[in-house]
Amino acid sequence: MNILVINCGSSSLKYQLIDSHSEKVIAKGLCERIGSEGACITHTPAGGEKKTDTVPMPDHNAAIQAVIAKLTDSSVGVITSLSQIGAVGHRIVHGGEKFNKAVLIDDEVISAIEEVSDLAPLHNPANLIGIRACMKLMPGVPMVAVFDTAFHQTMPKEAYLYALPLSYYRDYKIRRYGFHGTSHDYVSRRAAEILGKKREDLRIIVCHLGNGASVTAVDHGRSIDTTMGLTPLEGLIMGTRCGDIDPAIITFLMNKLHCSAEEVLNICNKKSGMLGLSGGISNDFRDLSKAAEQGNEDAETALQAYALRVGKYIGAYAAEMDGADVIVFTAGVGENDGPMRRRISNYTEFLGTSVDPEKNRIRGEEVILSAPGDKVVTMVVPTNEELAIARQTLEIVETKQNAV
Ligand code: AMP
């Protein structure tokens, strides 16, 4: 079965068409600047050339139409008709407490996603637009919602409650939800597979280090704690997000800058993190490493602060799980930035792990970095959220078919 995986942002839409049998990507692409002048679609058929075209896309309906037109195009297309799409998997950022696994989308699910939209006002409405547009253009094709938060629903209360008056949790559902769940789930499973062990027998710490970043403690197959919170702003230092800060800084800055809480939060989300800490050099680790090598002290401090924060959480999660068996690095920085993995590993040697300098040069591949016999295995497992969404979509659709 061909599964179309859709990841809708407010003005963008990423897609992959995956053959669920071979698990190969048949085509992938990205629509950008949806709703603006100069909207474009970049489409790459497997084995073919990546090509960008300007296409008017006033809304997400038009974007989905453009995706379908590319997929069925006589020259760059990979299918002849829409009937060759067996199901659609949608990435949904926030499932609140309602969803602890992927679900087949119906009216009730749409209402439930709408209900938790105030928890992710930038993401869930865009995700819903994507669902509705696909339903309109592909009536009768099963649609599955896969939630970023679902994997973390196994966290115990002591990990997910904030030390605020309890009524705020009861009345407003203010709690830690965690994100990147599809990635943490996929990567921890794959790490166990590579090691020839059952995930249920391992204590795994997954470091998803991309532009957004989070660490999760996967204790015998279950997420028991994670660094992101009510929103993806908490935890690690990220590309442009500040991660953990003293909440009193918000009001302090409002007074100093004479601005609103929203404006300070905008600074925390878009102008902070590595970009802010480096004095504005970049949020990209390649630029920061280059600047640090050329002697820029701010870039060097930002890189070291980043490593310290990750190391601190690895230590905390090892304490929570009474030790650790595996530390896994994934996502853009985790998969590619050997020197950053080295910096982080300097904080984890006390656990009994090491990093082989030769193997640490490898980029974007599954590799075990530690020495045989190390107490804790350190490894790299490239994430593949689209494949994980396609797998979960297939499982739900097959379960439904078997039930009929
Ligand atoms: P992601 O959000 O997972 O796509 O990660 C994107 C980030 O990964 C970029 O902003 C870079 O900071 C980082 N990244 C990607 N490739 C490399 C590389 N070769 N070396 C260092 N960092 C990289």
pLDDT digits (tens, 9 = 90+) for 132-189: 999 999 999 999 999 999 999 999 999 999 999 999 999 999 999 999 999 999 999 9
Q: Which two tokens stand for residue 361?
A: 């040069």
Mean pLDDT for all residues in the chain: 96
d(CA 54, CA 39): 6
Nearest to 236 by CA among 344, 154, 323, 322: 344
Residue 166 lies in a domain: no
The residue whose CA is least distant from atom 23 of ligand 1 is 333
19, 73, 107, 148: which is the annotated catalytic residue? 148
Q: Which two tokens stand for residue 404?
A: 């009929």
Q: Please check the confidence at residue 401 and state whether its pLDDT lies above 90.
A: no
One domain for residues 130 and 215: no
Q: Which of 147, 180, 213 is the last residue of a domain?
A: 147
285 CA → ligand 1 middle, Å: 6
Q: Please check the confidence at residue 120 and state whether its pLDDT lies above 90.
A: no
One domain for residues 19 and 92: yes
One domain for residues 231 and 374: yes
- Residue 191's pLDDT is 98
Q: Which of 147, 165, 184 is the last residue of a domain?
A: 147
Residue to mutate, 148, 289, 336, 381, ligand 1, most ligand atoms under 8 Å from C-beta: 336
d(CA 376, CA 361): 20
Task: Please tell me the pTM assigned to this model.
Answer: 0.95
Residue 67 lies in a domain: yes
Split into its structural domains, the chain has a count of: 2
d(CA 152, CA 165): 22
- pLDDT tens for 245-292 read 999 999 999 999 999 999 999 999 999 999 999 999 999 999 999 999
Q: Please check the confidence at residue 317 and state whether its pLDDT lies above 80.
A: yes
Q: Please check the confidence at residue 404 and state whether its pLDDT lies above 80.
A: no
Please, which residues have CB within 8 angstroms of residue 364's CB and are 6 or more apart in sequence? 335, 336, 382
- pLDDT tens for 190-219 read 999 999 999 999 999 999 999 999 999 999
Q: In the predicted model, what is the mean pLDDT of residues 303-317?
A: 98
Domain containing 106 — which CATH number?
A: 3.30.420.40
Structure-model confidence comparison of residues 9 and 386, the more confident one: 386
Q: Which two tokens stand for residue 107?
A: 């009216």
Q: Identify the H or E element spanning 87.
A: strand 87-92
Q: In the predicted model, what is the mean pLDDT of residues 346-352?
A: 96
Please, which residues have CB within 8 angstroms of residue 201's CB and are 6 or more apart in sequence? 192, 220
Q: In the predicted model, what is the mean pLDDT of residues 291-297?
A: 98
One domain for residues 143 and 201: no
Residue 402 lies in a domain: no
One domain for residues 79 and 217: no
Q: Please name the residue that has the structure tokens 């009937």.
A: 83
Backbone angles phi, psi at 53, to 5 degrees: -125, 145
Residue 222 lies in a domain: yes
One domain for residues 205 and 131: no
Residue 239 lies in a domain: yes
Residue 137 lies in a domain: yes
Q: What is the 3-state secondary structure (H, E, C) of 115-143?
A: HCHHHCCCCHHHHHHHHHHHHHHCCCCCE
Q: In the predicted model, what is the mean pLDDT of residues 386-398?
A: 97
Residue to mutate, 285, 290, 293, ligand 1, most ligand atoms under 8 Å from C-beta: 285
One domain for residues 209 and 346: yes
Q: Supply the DSSP symbol for 184.
A: H
Q: How many residues are there in the chain?
A: 404
- The CA-CA-CA angle for residues 283, 286, 288, to 5°, reads 60
Q: Please check the confidence at residue 9 and state whether its pLDDT lies above 90.
A: no
Q: Which of 85, 116, 147 is the last residue of a domain?
A: 147
Residue 49 lies in a domain: yes
One domain for residues 100 and 28: yes
Q: Is 138 in the pocket of ligand 1 (CB under 6 A)?
A: no
Range(s) of the domain holding residue 360: 197-380
One domain for residues 229 and 92: no
Burial of residue 42 (CB within 10 Å: 0-12, 13-18, 19+) is: middle
375 CA → ligand 1 middle, Å: 29
- pLDDT tens for 319-341 read 999 999 999 999 999 999 999 99
Q: Identify the H or E element spanning 103.
A: strand 103-104
Q: Is 229 in the pocket of ligand 1 (CB under 6 A)?
A: no
One domain for residues 137 and 40: yes
- Strands of 163-286, DSSP E: 203-209, 213-219, 222-226
Q: Is 285 in the pocket of ligand 1 (CB under 6 A)?
A: yes
Residue 250 lies in a domain: yes
284 CA → ligand 1 middle, Å: 6
One domain for residues 137 and 228: no
337 CA → ligand 1 middle, Å: 8
Q: Which two tokens stand for residue 108?
A: 């009730």
Our answer to whether residue 148 is catalytic in this structure is yes
d(CA 401, CA 173): 35
Q: Is 337 in the pocket of ligand 1 (CB under 6 A)?
A: yes
Residue to mutate, 184, 306, 333, 384, ligand 1, most ligand atoms under 8 Å from C-beta: 333
One domain for residues 218 and 88: no
